[in-house]
Structure 1
Amino acid sequence: MLKCVIIDDEQFSIDAILKYINLHSRLEVINIFLDPLDALNNVSLTEHIDIIFMDIDMPNLTGIELAKALRSRTAKLIFTTSHSQYAFDAYEVDGDAFLLKPYTFAKFSTTINRLFPVDERTTNAILKISDHFLVKNKEENLRIINLAFDDVIAFESSNNYVKIHTRDDRQITAYLTIKEVLDIVSSRKEFLQFHRAFIISTKHINYIEGNSIRLTNKLAFNIGERYKNTFNAFLSEQLLKTTRK
């Protein structure tokens, strides 16, 4: 596991990073600091740290100033900021990456994998871990739920949330967007989008009738016009065809 420290004076920014870290199988948070002065005094001199995620625009001590003191204590330094004008300053203090808020999970994950390439010898183990993901359930006071991708029937957009339908008839409400879900499932070929409000596991299609798809949990929807090319490509690949004349 890659050991991480987060330094940011805004709780909602910390929550955003934590959400992505929880979805990434290789990361573990060992400390969080809301006050840059607290981080200056308490980031360990001895404990191994793989990544420091650091905001730049903070009170009393900027991330650029703090980086000069802490850069030697971490293998990689990733700046997270809403201000693109700091990119050159981040480079000057040996920042390894610059994530401009708001960034997607795909951008976050790509950055981690670029800085810490996966050793081929550990690929199988990591793939096994990534068969599951962690998500906070709004309906259970943000309890963190461990879900297997194979158990997910569909992700459904619902106002500012996404409902996750599972094969044991649960509905988990997560503070995600459909776009973020697309990033999360991008490496899993069974998850496809045939409607603007749904990303489904094609393993859980019960039947297709005309323009309608019915899933194994009886959830049904019509194929969206903009997704018909994706649906037709899926059908062409999966539908058994006879060669008889």
Structure 2
Amino acid sequence: MLNCIIIDDEQFSVDAILKYIELLPKLYVVAIYNNPLKALENVTLENNIDLIFMDIDMPFLSGIELAKALRPKTQKLIFTTSHSKYAFDAYEVEGDAYLLKPFSFGKFSMTINRLFPNETVAKIPEISHGDDYFMVKNKEEDLRIVKVGYKEVIAFESSQNYLKIHLANNKVLTVYLTIKDILELLGSRDEFKQFHRAFVISTDCINYIEGNIVKMNNNLSFTVGESYRENFTSYLSGKLLKTSRKR
């Protein structure tokens, strides 16, 4: 069993790490601190800490400053942050890993296994899939595992630290995944396209296109992103019927 501490002033980030820890039975959370000053005051060698998850950009005391005091009190230190600019500072205070939010469960579990290779840390995928379907854990149903057919999906929508899966029956699943995770899952499935930073859609479920606005069958709509215009135009040119009649 690996004793862990989470230090992060944002509760939603703490909740995200806790969800991942639930999937790894070898990790045990000893304490959670939303205030870095409380962590500085309370974390001691007597806590027998194996691993600290620590945010960097926190009020009163940054994670980099806090690490200088707490690094000798833990075997391993993982920085969890939304900012890549602190990577060198993290190295300077002997951070063992640097996870950029939002990070996937795969990245999380691989990091734990790398730091503790002699521990049997289970690898439980956040997504499992067959030929015609995949399975995810729905946040709105207490992480119940839900089977989803690819043909049921209208769109995947990035929403803060979560991902919404819009289905043809008007149900919306909320999962802790990223657009990158979904693109890896979909692979070469040609019916799914990304025309916006926050959306991956099933082109089979497009209702209509008006200019740069795409309207889906469930009334979800978005404007094609500037960096996706070329791919969008290429898609349209391959699908849009044109007359052979001479003008």
How has the CA–CA distance of structure 1 residues 42 and 136 changed in structure 2, closer, same or farther, with 3 Å as cutoff? Answer: farther
Residue 97 (structure 1) aligns with: 97
- Stretches of structure 2 that go unaligned for 5 or more consecutive residues are 128-135, 158-162, 194-247
- Cα deviation code 1:71-104 (max 9, x no counterpart): 1111100011122121111111111011122222
**Cα distance in 2 for residues equivalent to 1:132 and 1:87:** 27
- The alpha carbon displacement at 1:154 in A equals 5.9
Q: Is contact 1:3-1:51 (8 Å) kept?
A: yes
* Deviation digits for residues 18-49 of structure 1 (CA, Å, limit 9, x no counterpart): 22222333322221110000111112431221
CA distance in 1, matches of 2:126, 2:103: 23
Structure 2 counterparts to residues 25-104 of structure 1, below 5 A: 25-104=25-104
C-alpha distance in structure 2 between counterparts of 1:55 and 1:88, whole Å: 15
What is the CA–CA distance in structure 2 between the aligned matches of 1:158 and 1:85, rounded to whole Å? Answer: 29
Residue 109 of structure 1 corresponds to: 109
Using the TM superposition, name which of 24-33 and 60-69 deviates more. Answer: 24-33
- Structure 1 letter corresponding to 2:81: T
Map residues 1-245 of structure 1 onto 2, 5 A cutoff. Answer: 1-118=1-118, 126=122, 130=124, 137-138=139-140, 143=142, 160-162=163-165, 173-177=173-177, 196=192
Do 1:22 and 1:135's aligned partners in 2 also have CA atoms closer than 8 Å? no
**What root-mean-square deviation, in Å, do the aligned CA atoms of Structure 1 and Structure 2 show?**
3.8
Q: In structure 2, the residue corresponding to 1:50 is in which secondary structure?
A: strand
**Using a 3 Å threshold, how does the CA distance of structure 1 residues 24 and 68 change in structure 2: closer, same or farther?**
same
- Maintained 8 Å contact 1:2/1:28: yes
Residue 177 of structure 1: CA displacement?
3.8
Query: Following the alignment from structure 1 to structure 2, what is the Cα–Cα distance between the partners of residues 74 and 11?
Result: 22
Give the letter aligned to residue 88 of structure 1: F
TM-score normalised by length of structure 2: 0.56
| Native 8 Å contact 2:8 2:34 kept in 1 | yes
Question: What's the CA shift string for 1:112-135, capped at 9, x where partnerless?
Answer: 11101145xx58xx57xx599995
1:174–1:27 distance in 2 versus 1, CA, 3 Å: farther
The verdict on how the C-alpha distance between 1:132 and 1:89 changes in structure 2, with shifts beyond 3 A counting, is: closer
3-state SS of the aligned residue for 2:176?
Answer: coil
Shift of 1:57: 1.1
Q: Deviations over 1:103-157 (max 9, x none)?
A: 22222111111101145xx58xx57xx599995641x5xx465x6xxx9576867
Alignment length (residue pairs): 176
TM, length-normalised to structure 1: 0.56
Write the distance in 1 (CA, Å) between the matches of 2:116 and 2:41: 27
What amino acid maps onto 1:59 in structure 2?
Answer: P
Rounded Cα–Cα distance in structure 1 between residues aligned with 2:125 and 2:92:
39
Call closer, same or farther: CA 1:172–1:50 in 2, change over 3 Å: farther
Q: Is the 8 A contact 2:105 2:126 kept in 1?
A: no
CA distance in 2, matches of 1:178, 1:56: 22
Contact 1:162 1:178 in 2 (8 A): no
AA aligned to 1:112 is: I
**Alpha carbons 1:23, 1:135 under 8 Å: kept:** no
Q: Take 1:16 and 1:114, find their aligned partners in 2: how far apart are those partners?
A: 20
Tell me by how many angstroms 1:175 deviates: 2.9
% identity of equivalent residues: 51
Is residue 55–residue 80 contact of structure 2 (8 Å, CA) maintained in 1?
A: yes
